Amino acid sequence: MTLETQFRLKSNPNYIKHLRENAYWYKYLNRDPNAFTQFEEEAKERFGLRPQDRINRMLDTIEMFSALVSNFK
């Protein structure tokens, strides 16, 4: 694994956690450092860090507050 890939992994605790839970990525990242973008996308999907996941959480929160307010009326 290249030094740059190791630094990128260690910069984000979610990446380390995903790597430990899915050990097959060690092999892929050792053989092809360019596979890091695929690893990164999979980790973001797993931990809900994609922009659409954030928007969905925000909409759910707004929906919950609006339901709460409507119950108090």
Over the stretch 58-72, which tens digit does the pLDDT of each residue have? Answer: 999 999 999 999 988
User: Would you state the structure tokens that stand for residue 49, as one six-digit string?
Assistant: 């860090």
- What local confidence, expressed as pLDDT, does residue 34 receive? 95
> How many Å apart are CA 58 and CA 64, to the nearest integer?
10
Neighbours of 57 (CB within 10 A): 11
Taking each helix axis as running N to C, give the angle between helix 13-21 and helix 3-10, from 0 to 180 degrees, rounded to the nearest 10.
110
Statement: the pTM of the whole predicted model exceeds 0.85: no
Residue 15 near residue 8, CB atoms below 8 Å: yes
User: Would you state the structure tokens that stand for residue 7, as one six-digit string?
Assistant: 């630094």
> How many Å apart are CA 12 and CA 31, to the nearest integer?
21
On the question of pLDDT at 35 being above 90, the answer is yes
